[in-house]
Structure formats: structure tokens, C-alpha cells
Structure 1
Amino acid sequence: MAVHSAFGDESPAVAVPETEQQSDSDSDPANQTDEDAVFEHILVAVDEEMDERVGEVALALAARHGAQVDALSVVRMNASVDHWDMVVERREEAAEEALDALGEAAERAGVSLTKQLRYGTPADEIAAYADHHDVDLIVAGEPNRTGLRRFFSPKSVTDCVRRAASVPVLTV
């Protein structure tokens, strides 16, 4: 292997002795044992607007690594909402439908999934759940925010989770 410089010459890179090099089969995730698993516990942030791909990616990772999946949906609680009971009820129904859909997909994929419903500020609840439940990875969707929505709300829940979480966050 050589390192290319801006001056066009090639200088040798640091060589790794043959005995220390890994074979392709050693680095293939499909050949890893449970002891080698990178992710043992994956948290999927679920909401009613979640893109199907978010769940697919999380379930594929879980299947590959033999990981447990927790699907967490947080019902946002706003003190300024009129007709509070109706709003919360609609949010709960939407959250439960999204959790059920992911649960069905997990069942088809043969992945163990636990559904969780919480109340509060989504980013705070997601980060706290990850900390308290030994989560190795958070999988979340990146919303498609354009125009006025981006102007009035420059930070998405996923942005806030990324900043608050103490574990890696995979954005789909």
C-alpha cells in the first residue's frame, strides 16, 4: 500500500506483518460469534411518522448481531394544548399503532422486540431510556424538514438525541 501526496510521489505506508493481518473471513460480521457481537441491545426510536426503513435497518442489525431490540415511542406532553385528553389519546393511539407495526415486522424477521411507551419530551426520554437499559445503539429516523418547519424548528428530535445520548446514534 502507498500513500499518495500532493506532489505526485508515493511513499510507502506502514506495513503490517503477515501474522497480524486479519483474513477477510475474520472481519466479516456474518462470521462473528455471539461473543464478538458489536451490538447486543438496540433501541429504535418510533413515532407515527417513522419511515419504514428505520425499522428495517434496526431489525437487520439485530438479526445480524443477535441483538435484543427495544422499540420506544414517546408521547409528547405539551402543557399548552387545549382539549388535553383528546390530544394525548390521539398521540397514544398513533404511537401504539407504530409500535405494533414494528412488532409485526420483528416477528416476521425472527427478532426479539420489546415495545415501550413513555410520556414526556422525546429526546430526553430516549436518551434516558438508553442510559438506564444498557443500550448499545440507538436507531432513529431523520425527518424531512423543509421550508418554514426547518426555520421555526431548526433542531429535530434526532438532533437532540444525538447530543444527549451517551451511546452511538444511527440516523436513517
Structure 2
Amino acid sequence: MLFTETELQGVWLIEPTLMVDDRGFFTRLFCEKEMADCGLATRFVQHSRSCSVQKGTLRGLHYQEEPYAEVKLVSCVRGAIFDVVVDLRPNSPTRYKWLGFELTSENMKQVYIPAGFAHGLQTLTDGTEVSYLISQFYAPHASTGVLYNDPAFSIRWPLMPTAMSERDKSWPLVRRRTGASAS
């Protein structure tokens, strides 16, 4: 496995190392030792999966508030997504900065998202399925989000959204919630 830390401290792109022969391939998608060697969380209490029927579906931007903040390990197991992380950590020098990653079932890349980040994704194909390893149990009272098109972030989504939950359409702007502005 190849671990690459991004410019957002704590966010990692994890790429598999394939062993290929005439039968196909074999790869590891999780290794507790290698993740721990990078200082990453290795305890995941939930494994969730989502399926989005339509290309352009947008999910997010979601996170859980302290003390229920989550670490996530996200991968696309069918189709393709544009996966987005936004730094919401109050004292971070990269607060309100975002990164986007193309995750596909073919490239098998994963994004490691530390606590303090909002997460969202947009499907790039019909019938897309996403897998999430999550470090905390779901706490409905701590579950929240920020608006996907908040000008504080200026996320460049690849497509106009074709489907989105009413909840995701109605998250507040980060400025209204915190009184802060993007740098």
C-alpha cells in the first residue's frame, strides 16, 4: 500500500499495490500495522455502504460534532466519485480549504479523512457504490453538515447536482454558523 499525505494535514490518499498474475490480481485494502506506522487510526466500529442510482448525485457535506467526531476511510467499490474533504478544524492553518479526489472501482484509491473534516461526494457514473469505514458509532444528535456550495469553500464540483437530499440542500452556510469567513 502506498500512503501519501496531502497538503491538508491528516488527510491521506491510500493506493493499493497490486500483485498481478494470469488469474487476475490481489491487493490489501487495509493494514493495521501500515496505517499505525503512518499515525492513522486503525479502529473502525462501523462499515457502511451507499448506492447512488444517478450520475451527478451529491451527498454531503457531512460530519459529526465532538465528542462524536469521526475518522473515515472512503473508497468507491462500483462506478466513480469525486470525493471532497473540507477542513473545519478551528485552529487549523488550512481551515475552510478543500481537496477533491477521483475514486473509482478500477483505481481502488481510498481517502483517509481525520476528525474535524466535512465529507461529501458526487457520483460520476450511474449505479455508484461507496464504502465507508467509520471510527465512531452514528450519533444522530451530533450529525450535522455544511452547504455543498458554500462560498467560504468554493468547491468546484465536476457536475451540476442531479439528485440530493433535502437535508443536504438545507445545511447552513459556515459563515452563518460560526461568524467566520474563508481565508
Give me the TM-score of the superposition, normalised by structure 1.
0.26
Asked which structure has the greater RCO (Cα within 8 Å, sep 6+), the reply is 2
Which of 1 and 2 has greater Rg? 1
Structure number having the greater helix percentage? 1
Q: TM-score, normalised by structure 2?
A: 0.25
